[in-house]
Amino acid sequence: MKKKKAYKPLSQRNAANDFVRGALASGIVAAIARNDAPRLDRAAARAALQSGVVLAAVTIAADALQQRRYFRAALAAAGAAASVYALQSLLPAGDAVPSIEF
């Protein structure tokens, strides 16, 4: 009889990669897609970090829903919301530090 392979959740394998992908994609868009000159400032950094956190949490939540672990999915969504709120308050929109002009 063939032995089944142990299931490795996608969230453990891909959450870190998804964070980096989301942060890079959102950071590039936030830094370049401006009406004035493209620049990397706190607003772009905040958007990049928030998007990375949300994408990683969505990966964990989707994997948990696939396994029918509803509490884990809800916990991932609540953690993402709390992280986005914390980043919003830790990195205000004001440009108190110099920005990098492209």
For residue 60, is it within any domain?
A: yes
For residue 5, is it within any domain?
A: no
Which residue shows structure tokens 């000159």? 37
For residue 76, is it within any domain?
A: yes
**Residues spanned by the domain of 27:** 14-91
The confidence band for 75, taking pLDDT boundaries of 50, 70 and 90, is very high
For residue 96, is it within any domain?
A: no
For residue 85, is it within any domain?
A: yes
Q: In whole angstroms, what is the distance from residue 73 CA to residue 87 CA?
A: 21
For residue 97, is it within any domain?
A: no
For residue 40, is it within any domain?
A: yes
Threshold 0.75, pTM exceeds: no
Region of poorest pLDDT, from 16-20, 31-35, 70-74, 78-82:
31-35
For residue 81, is it within any domain?
A: yes
Q: What are the C-alpha distances in Å from 59 to residues 19, 26, 41, 81, 83?
A: 9, 17, 27, 14, 15
Report the domain count for the chain. 1
The answer to whether residues 98 and 40 touch, using CB atoms and an 8 Å cutoff, is no
Which residue shows structure tokens 């919003």? 88
